[in-house]
Amino acid sequence: MARAFADSRGRYGYRRVKAALGTGVSEKVIRGIMREDGLVARVPGRRRYSSYEGEAASRAGQPRQPGFHRRTTQREVAHGHHAGSRPATERCTFRR
């Protein structure tokens, strides 16, 4: 039992120690043995409330592609204009 508790680095309580052992021992027996051996699971401390949201991250720019030309605007695409008139490969071209 102490090995299962140590393998969890002290984070398993009696329920998970029982599951790790896989024996038919009752939870009361496991809790009693853990109490006798001083095996107490670590519990994360309470986090205090803070209204601080952090600072806004700088917005990353889009990578530039020199010579890229788009025949349709985002608004036209969003509203369905030119949606079925040409395939997407014909709408965008690379100029050299």
Domain residue ranges of the chain, discontinuous segments joined by +: 2-37, 66-96
Output the CA–CA distances (angstroms, integers) from residue 30 to 17, 34, 59, 82, in the order listed.
8, 6, 54, 70
Q: How many CB atoms lie within 10 A of CB 39?
A: 20
Question: In the prediction, which pLDDT does 17 show?
Answer: 74
- pTM tops 0.85: no
- The 10s digit of each residue's pLDDT in 17-67 is 777 777 778 888 878 887 887 777 777 788 889 888 888 777 666 666 666
